[in-house]
Each structure stands twice: as structure tokens, then as C-alpha cells.
Amino acid sequence: MNKKLLCIVMAFAMIMAAPLTALADDSRPYLALGADLSESEKATVLEKLGIGQDDLSSYDVITITNQDEKNYLGDYMSENVIGGRSLSSVLITKNKAGSGIHVTTHNITYCTTGMYRNALITAGITDANVVVAGPFDISGTAALVGALKAYETMTGETVSEESIDAAVNELVTTGSIADTLGDSEKVEQLMALAKQYVVEGNLNSEEDIMKAIEQASKELNITLSDSQRSQISSLMGKISGLNIDKEALKSQAKELYNSLKDMGIDLDDAGVRAQIKDIFVSFIELLKSFFQ
């Protein structure tokens, strides 16, 4: 299976397993297991997750079927790409408020922890420790499916279709551009910074969003093609329609935002407002130039 698309499936499992509301029992960790794991593969996954067979009663356990993956991912990839076995597994533990999202992986060869984290934040997940594992080296796509299924089953609530679409879009776009640029961390920073500008500035027009992307890429010294800018603009247009808390963006990905600050990018409210002001001023100057 294409590594990029495998990553998407795994990330979906993470959203499905995430304890997003007070309706869930925060004292119990949530475990989503691939339904097609053999007994030996299941034992390997549990070992990677640090769980003994005798301890499973302490966890809320669900299974992710291949049909679940197809139901959620069918709009994004063909069935032959999704594959015929559900192997991805994820363990999510609710953490104290303000602690952020922390992701670790085992036997995951394509999806980075940052790609998972950014997609989970976009989907509205907060304050969770997430461990993703495969029985052997896999790219790690089905975890997002399992996370969403567990959330819906255990809380009776759903992640909105718009949030799911944006989270998947973000993962796909990040992976695609990272493949081209050869630097996943840099692209993760770009997505986070552009997202911050869009959410902080309440940007919703294509022109404003495009200027925010240009500002973020300039700050990070990234050169994007027209196609890549268009991909990110489409994604940010979806994100602008979500009710994302601007403070949650920074609090849930502290390590990423600290790395941006270390690069001299001011993400405090005043700094972000200044950048947004520059975005509008630059756009106005561009418009003026057409009439001179």
C-alpha cells in the first residue's frame, strides 16, 4: 500500500480512539486494535504498546475493521489502495488539561509524530498521550479510523464530518509536500504556522489565506510551487470554517511552537497580530499596484 495513504488510515484510527469529551471515562485508557491482527501480531502490538494480555480488562477496547477504514477513507482513496487487512492499533490516554498532545510510534515507517499530532489537533482532540503501533513495519494509516470509532462508540458523540475531512486533508497535504521537499518537520511547522495565522486572523477569503501561506513560507524560508500553495490554500479554507480555539493550537503542540520561537518567529498574540497586519498590508499594496 502507498505509504502516504497508509499514514492517513492510521491517523484516522487515532481520532476514533480519542477521549474528546467529559462523557468518556477519562480514568481508563482507550485501545483500538486492528481486527485482522493474527494472535502473534496482536501479541507483538500489545508488547509495543506496553500492555500485557492479562491487563486488557483495564482498558476500553474496540476493534477497527477493514470496512471501517473503507467507510471513512473511501472518498480519499480506492479500495485496492486501502487494502484488505486492518492492522493498525492505537492506545490513547487522556491527560490533564493544558498538557497537550504527545505521540509516540512503534513500527511506523512513514507517518511522523508531528503529522499525527497536527491532524489530531485539527480534528479537535486535546490533552492526550497517543501511542501508535504496527505488528511489523507499516506506514501507519489506519490509526485515525480507530480513534474516531472509539470516540463515537464510547462517548456517543461524533467528530464532525468537516473536522474529519480537514484532518485527513492536512495529513495528505503534509505528506505530499514533505515527499517533495524532503523535510517533514519543516512542512509540519509550515502547516502549524499557516493554521495559526488563519485561525488567529479569522481569515476566510482565498486571497487572505493565500497571503497567510506566503507569509508563513517566507518566515520558514520554504519555496512552494503554485500547486503546493493551492493544496495548502484549499486545506486552510476548510480549517477556517472550523471552530478551532487559537490558544488550543499552541497549547496542544508546545514542542512545535517552541521550535518556531527558537527560530525567531513570535507566536505570542502581539506577534501573530503583527504578522496578520503585514498580510493585509501586503495584499492591499498588491491591489494598489494593479491600478498604478
Mean pLDDT confidence for 218-240: 96
- For residues 128 and 26, membership in a common domain is answered with yes
pLDDT of the residue at 18: 64
The structural domain count of the chain equals 2
Q: What 3-state DSSP class applies to 230?
A: helix
Instruction: Say if 82 falls within a structural domain.
Output: yes
The CA distance from 218 to 114, in Å, is 21
Asked if residue 153 and residue 8 are part of one domain, the reply reads: yes
Residue 167 lies in a domain: no
Choose one of 121, 143, 159: the last residue of a domain.
Answer: 159
Q: Are residues 146 and 286 in the same domain?
A: no
Please indicate, yes or no, whether residues 19 and 82 belong to a single structural domain of this protein. yes
Residue 132 domain-assigned? yes
Same domain (yes/no): 108, 199 = no
Instruction: Examine residue 177 and state whether it is found in any structural domain, yes or no.
Output: no
Most confident stretch, 215-219, 255-259, 267-271: 215-219
Q: Give residue-wise pLDDT tens across range 155-205.
A: 566 778 898 888 888 888 898 899 999 999 999 999 999 999 999 889 999
Under 8 Å between Cβ of 203 and 197: yes
| HEC assignment per residue over 66-102 | HHHHHHHHCCCCCHHHHCCCCCCEEEEEECCCCCCEE
pLDDT bracket for residue 23 (50, 70, 90): very low
Tell me whether residue 276 is in a domain: yes
- Kindly report, residue by residue over 97-136, the tens digit of the pLDDT: 889 989 999 998 878 899 989 988 988 888 888 899 999 9
Both 125 and 225 in a single domain? no
Q: What is the pLDDT of residue 124?
A: 83
pLDDT at res. 168: 81
In three-state secondary structure terms, 119 is helix
Among the residue ranges 19-28, 47-56, 68-77, 108-117, the one predicted with the least confidence is 19-28
Together in a domain, 264 and 224: yes
Q: Could you report the per-residue pLDDT of 60-92, keeping only the tens digit for each?
A: 898 888 888 887 777 766 777 677 888 889 998
Output the furthest CA–CA distance in the chain (Å, rounded): 76
Secondary structure E strands in the chain: 30-34, 60-64, 89-94, 101-108, 128-138
Q: Taking the complete model, does pTM exceed 0.85, yes or no?
A: no
Residues 226, 101: one domain? no
| Three-state secondary structure call for residue 59 | coil
Measured over the CA atoms of residue 207, residue 208, residue 214 and residue 217, the dihedral's sign is: negative
pLDDT class of 235 with cuts at 50, 70, 90: very high
Based on the domain organization, do 144 and 14 belong to the same domain? yes
Distance CA 10, CA 96 (A): 25
pLDDT, mean over the chain:
82
Is residue 41, in this structure, part of any structural domain at all? yes
DSSP 176-228: HHHHHHT-HHHHHHHHHHHHHHHHHTT--SHHHHHHHHHHHHHHTT----HHH
Of the pLDDT bands very low, low, confident and very high (cuts 50, 70, 90), residue 270 is very low
pLDDT of amino acid 150: 64
Q: Which residue has the higher pLDDT, 270 or 119?
A: 119
- Look at the block and give the residue holding cell 497536527: 118
Residue 115 lies in a domain: yes
Q: How far is CA 148 from the centre of its chain?
A: 13
pLDDT at 233 over 90: yes
Structural domain containing residue 208: 183-290
Residues 9 and 148 in one domain: yes
Domain boundary among 159, 192, 217: 159
Angle of CA points 15, 214, 110, to nearest 5°: 35
Percent of the chain exceeding pLDDT 70 equals 77
Q: Provide mean pLDDT across the span 143-156.
A: 66
- Residue 280 corresponds to which amino acid? F
Domain boundary among 144, 159, 174: 159
Q: Do 237 and 112 have their domain in common?
A: no
74 CB-side CA count, 13 A: 7
Residues 154 and 11 in one domain: yes
Instruction: Kindly report the number of other CB atoms within 10 A of residue 215's CB atom.
Output: 18
Distance of CA 219 to the CA centre of its chain: 22
